[in-house]
Amino acid sequence: MRLYFAIPLLFFTIAAQATVYKWVDKDGKIHYSDKPIENSEAVEFKSNTQNQIQLNTPKAPPSNDDQKSLTEYNLSITSPAEEETIRNNEGKLTIMARISPDLEAKHVLVLLMDGAVVGTPQTSPIFSLKDIDRGEHNFVIKAVAQNGKQLASTPPRKIFLHRAIVTRQATPTPFNGGN
């Protein structure tokens, strides 16, 4: 069944490639057509006859900032360990990282906790946090250039923070036997 459709389709595509004819009228104007006219001749197109436009886009010269940003940092969180449980009732937590080579003057480190930036960017790889809610948290440290371009990032580090909550229990009242 498919063969019945394929054969006419094949003939149709062959016929669709029409020949182009060229002729000159009595005023000397050149005309082109897909139908043969008296005194016309078939035009053969070569593969290099196709219209192909290539635009050369100028490249901006690299600025000094871009050249300095080419530093490739190796960045990793060293403490706390992956899935470590931290017990601190005040919600204090210290995240330490290792970076090599040393951070350049125009670059900073940013700490993200659960996908949101925590604190201000800094050059030290030690982040001290306080009043962190208890529970599971994911931390990522990123090295960033002044223009906001990310230069390096640590893999996410999952930690658990436990905080004891002291709640006052209701004091039991004695039962008076219905009085």
Does domain 68-162 fall into CATH 2.60.40.10? Answer: yes
Q: State residue 15's pLDDT score.
A: 53
Average pLDDT over residues 15-25: 75
Q: What is the DSSP string of the chain?
A: -HHHHHHHHHHHHHHHSPPEEEEE-TTS-EEEESS--TT-EEEPPPGGGS------PPPPPPPHHHHHTTPPPEEEEEESPTTEEEE-TT--EEEEEEEESPPPTTEEEEEEETTEEEEEEESSSEEEE-SPPSEEEEEEEEEEETTS-EEEEPPPEEEEEE-----PPPPPPPP-TT-
- Mean residue pLDDT of the chain comes to 80
pLDDT band for position 14 (50/70/90)? low
Sequence spans of domains, the chain: 2-45, 68-162
Q: What is the pLDDT of residues 158-169, one digit of tens each?
A: 999 998 866 656
Of the candidates 39, 138, 45, 31, the residue with the CA atom closest to the CA atom of residue 83: 138
For the residues 151-160, what does the mean pLDDT come to? 93
* pLDDT of 48 above 70: no
Predicted confidence (pLDDT) at residue 110 exceeds the cutoff of 90: yes
pLDDT recorded at residue 178: 58
Reported as a pLDDT band with limits 50, 70 and 90, residue 157 is very high
- For residue 52, what are its two tokens? 């192909």
Is the pLDDT assigned to residue 62 strictly greater than 80? no
pLDDT at res. 69: 47
Residue 45: is its pLDDT beyond 80?
no
- Least-confidence region, from 32-46, 61-75, 113-127: 61-75
Residue 87 has pLDDT above 90, yes or no: yes
